[in-house]
Every structure is written in C-alpha cells, then in structure tokens.
Structure 1
Amino acid sequence: MLLSIIVTKQMSEKIKDILESGEDIVFKHIGKLDSESVKDVFYSASRISSEAILVDIDVFPGKEIVSALQSFRISRPNTRVIIIAPERKPGDEIISSIVGLGIYDIVAEVKDLDWNEIINNVLLSTPATYSQAARWHTGQFVSDGGRNRERVVIEERPSGVIVIAVAGAAHGLGCTHTAFSLASFLSRSGYSVAVIEDNQRPAFSYFINVLKAKEGKVKDSHVIHGIDIFALNESKDRGDWNFDTLVKEIKAGQYEYVIRDLGVLDSSRIREMYRADEAFIVASAAKWRWNECMDKLDNEFSIIFPLASNSDVDEFSFYTYIKGTAFPYCPNPFSKDNDSVILKLLDPVLPNRRKKRALFEKLLI
C-alpha cells in the first residue's frame, strides 16, 4: 500500500513498526507544525499519489487542519484519509468539522494502547461510513480562522432515505435534465421521490409555472409526473443549502429517494457530493468541451455523458483514463427511453431483487 504519514514525534514512536515495515511510505512528515506551514505540508502531500494518508490531529496548533484537509480532499479525492485523534471525545469541534468533509475514519483510542496494531487493523479494514462516524458530528463546521460557521444538517438526514447528488462539470450540460430523468425512473418504479434544487441557476419555479404543477404532498413542494419537487426559494438566505432547510419536509414526505440538483461543481458542491449515498457528474464527451471538464472529473464519482455515443465515451476514456456512461439523446426526461441505462447507473442504491428458487430446486440442493 502506498502510504502518506503526517504525525507527531510521539506518535511516530508508537507506530515505529509501521514506519519501518514494508509499507511503501511515499510521503512522511514527523513533528508539529505552525499555522503557516500546515498548508505547505498538505500541498506537498497532495502532489504525491497515495492510497491512504495518516493524519495525527496533534500535529496541528488549531483549526487550520480543517481547511487544509478540505483542499487535500479536492486534490486527492481517491485517497483514504485516516485521522489519528488520541483520546478525543464526541463533541470535539474539529473532529466534527472533519467528519463534515466526508472523512469518517477517526481513530481515537487512548494513548497507552498498541497503536501499531490499531493502525494496521484500520488499514486492513474497509473505509468507515458516516454511520460509524455519526457520533462525532455535531453539525458545526469551523473555518480556517474560526470566525464563520456553516450549519450542516447531515446528522438529521432521515433514516432510510437514499440521497443522490447530481452536478455538472460546466453550465448547459444537462444537470437538471439528468436529475429529473433519474427521478422519473424511480417514480415509475414505484418509489416515493423528491428532487431538491440547489443549483446556481434556479429553474424549478419556471417549471412549476409552465407545467402548471399542483401542490405536492408536503409543504413547499409541487408535483410533476409523480415527483415532488422543491424549488429554491430565492428570497431566503442563500447561505444555507436548500436541502438542509428542508429536513422536516423530507421526513414528513417519507421519501425513499431524494435527488439534489447541485448545478455546476465547485469546492463546496464537491463536499456535498461526498454527503450523498450516490453522486453523478454530468459532463460532455465533445472534444471542444474537454477543457471545461478535465479538472473536475474523477473516477471517485459516476460520470454521465449526455448526447454521447459509446465510441465518444471510449475515446474520452482512452485519453483521460476517466470512465463514464453514455446517456443517449432523450429530450423528454420523463420518458422511458433511457431506463436500461438508468437501471445500471442506480444499481448500487436500488434494493436487491433475488429470484426465488422453485420448490423442486431447493429440494435438489
């Protein structure tokens, strides 16, 4: 395993066996950092590809670690981040902020234990999920200077609801169209679905008027083709995500799936993609638009290429090493034309359907 390590001198002594083992350590920093050097060290670490990075929270003097980790996640979204936080307790403000970034591997054992064994076990295990880190998350996000706080309501996500995020690599690629296509498929499949607008260019209010949508089953929603949609209220404070302000409505609607139309990717929306159970980036396979997409695409998320053929996607993948799915031309997002494609895209978040064996087959086993 290619491993990066940022730890204190004291922790380096506790994981001495790991440091001297056969692990391929591609980046190593030992010792505490001042506030000015935090970003420099993480920048250096981000320039090297590694499968996992161990980050000892005691290396850092204060809250600088949060913004540094956020930048690292954007640069290296495929690298597993493991936070070493000896003897930290739930409610810790910094750990809460780190979990808000989508980093769920938090190791907070007491200092006197065998940390070589602890870290080895974590490295051999599958990455932690939000449910395993939820006890750390208070919903508060601290900024670099600690002056601004962003309210994140991830801990109030309704139990059992599958959240799907859709974002575009650039304007005009069909992010909203794709969100409704996915929602339409789920609605026709018998699921209760809501689409929430968090786009930089709000359009849902226009849809509501043009399609003469009726009121949905809960407050602030309208129904289109069996899908409850929540338009972005432009009169409200745009500092909050529409999704986070609608937690009570989502609970009241008892939706099985919630799809977020996030608009064009930026750093804040990448973090929202990590909060979702499944995330899609809508991109263009046209050569003249590759430059708009290249720096925003990564195999960490599923990539959808509207209006593209399989050969277009294959060519894009050949030159960029980024894989994706062709989404054939379909002007009506509520039609069934692309159901076979959508079924494959949503397979990770659809219930498993196992065919029951006939009685005589069971008897033969």
Structure 2
Amino acid sequence: MTIYFTGSTFNQVIHDTIESMDEMIVDPHVEDHQDFYKYIKQNIASLQGMDQLVIDCTAVLNTDEELLAAFEMIRTMYDGIRIIIFAPDYKPGSPFLKKCFEMGILNIITTDDYKILQDELVYCIKKGMSYRDAAKYKDSVPEKISVKHTRKTVMKRMIGIAGTCENIGVTHNAIVLANFFRQKGYMVALVEKNNSGAFETICSAFDEKTYEDGYYALNGIDYYTDANDEKIQMVQEHPYNVILMDFGCLTEENKDAFERCEDRLLIAGARPWEMEDTNRIFPLASRDVLAKYVFCFNFVPTSEQEAIRDGMGTLDNVHFLTYTERPFEQADFSDAAHIFAEILPEEAEVNEKTGILKKLLHKRQEGEGNRVPFKM
C-alpha cells in the first residue's frame, strides 16, 4: 500500500506511475502548499500498514527542519515504511538531503524530468535505492545561487502537425519538435495519424523493439505507429505531458481530427511549385479557424519572409523553419520557445530554499496567486 503527497504539477505522473505497478493507493493527498509536518503529527497512526510513502517536496510549505522532524516521527513509529523523497529543487550537496541520507532515507529523486521521475519512482518502489545509489547525497556543500526551472503544470497537451502536401517535412519536423519537448523534461509521445508507414520504417532502420501497446522508444520518445482512434485513446490514458500527432497531408478527411488538437501546426511551402498546395488549404476552414493555426514555412530565404507575412494578411501566426540535417539528434524547432511559451519552464536565479526563506517564498507565491493549470 502506498500513500503519497504531491501537488498539481507532478500529480499525474506520480499517480499514474504508482497505479501502473498495481500498487494500492491509499488516501492520496494532492494539494499545493500542504503542511506535511502537521499532517504527520496529527495522523501518524493512519500510516500503519503502509509499504511506501511518497513525498513531493515541491508541494509542501514546511521548512527543511519540519520535514526532517516529520521523517523522524515516521521512522520512529514505522521503520518498515519506505520513504521516497521527490525533491527536484534540491541537488546533491544539499544539507537537507545529507540529513535525509544520515537518517537512512536512501530513496531520493532529484530530477524534474518527467520521464526520469517515472523510471526512478518505479525503481524505488520495486527495488529501493541502495547505499551506493544514494551515496551522492552523503556530503553537503555551501549554498550557492543556481538557476531554478519553475515548471508549469501540463496535464496533457495534444499538438497536431500537418502539411499542405506530401513530402513537405511533417514527420521530419514532428521529430525535431518531439526532441525539443523531451529536452525540456517532458514525457512525449509521437503518434502517426496517417498511412505513410514512416514510423515503421524508422523502427526497422534503428532496429528498435516494438512493445505490446504498439509503440517503440527512441531517444526517450515513444513512437506509436499507424494509430487508429482506439490506439489514440490508449495513448491519452498514459501519463504523457505532450502528445504530438503526425497527420501527414491535411485533407478534408482528417481536418476535423486535426482541429480537435489544442495546438495546430501547419507545415507549408512557399516555392513556386508548392504555392498551389499551400493555397488549397485556405478554403478548407473558416478565417476564424485558420487564425488558430500556426503556419510554419519551410525553406524560405530571409529576404522573402516579409513578403510572405504580408501575403498572409491577418493570419499573423507565421514562422519560418530552419533546416535540421539530423532530426533524431537535433531539437532546434524554430520559434518553439515562443509558440509554446505558456507550457515551458521559466528560469530564475534563486538561493536554495532553507529554513524561514522557504516559508517567505511560499507566502509571496500565495500573495501573487497560483498559476492556473490547463487541461485539454
């Protein structure tokens, strides 16, 4: 049996990971700015019979000293409970993690990468970290200024990518964009919603293993081949943060599914032999619908870009893609940081939060108001 304490940002991946292991979840606590110390002090008897306790340190308002006191109470009463600490704001060398290590708490996860979090949480529950695994936390170093990534809550983001014609680079750019999100730490699925067979060719070329659910993993991204509606529904039930749908060429038949995606990227061409296909798209949808498309033009010289912007009129969500020679190795999708700014982590210089500083930070956040998470 597992009890966990987390907030809105990491709830989905923590819950789904524990559930996927057929672990019984008892009394999950999902709330930002929880008082974990108070809960343990008042309800420690409720932990009887638990196998694991997972604590997400980003979701609590307690000081390091209060957290350590809560862990001490748990260890004293129920030494058999495996405490799993998820602390992405702390790194090896943290005095807090050193004290956890000294208390015999070895199951410590400090990544903010959703995929690595999932893998390490499975390892902690299934096997448990050894002294050797956790030895990097046994020493502390002086506090210093560091860059903290503040991740915004991403429950599920469905992004559709289609092209104005065949062979315009939809799959190529979908792979680059998937790499972009993966490098930001998100769990990413790339779904083939066309009958080109390209994903199967990629699988064979890299000699990847295909799993029972009809996908293979490459560079930390799950590729789903030839997906029908049933497979797409199954993908949505997995704890992915970003699902990229490769529609191939946009047509009357697939445009409704494309427009159901939260973000719609259209890969277009502007060379003379491509303009007829690009112009074919505009009668397929109303002006209001087209205004929500993100138009990404391939292979346009800088000298011609302004003319294309003028030609698009009020459709001003226009971007120009640079050529990526090695799509499986590169993640530089043009303007992705701007296009997807609302779901990307922010960076700020902060001191490692300890003692009263941690409380002050949370009070300031509460005064400013919480961010509103978005869902599909």
TM bracket, shorter-chain basis: 0.3 to 0.5
Return the structure number with greater relative CO, CA threshold 8 A, min gap 6.
Answer: 2
TM-score scaled by structure 1? Answer: 0.48
TM-score scaled by structure 2? Answer: 0.46
Larger Rg: 2
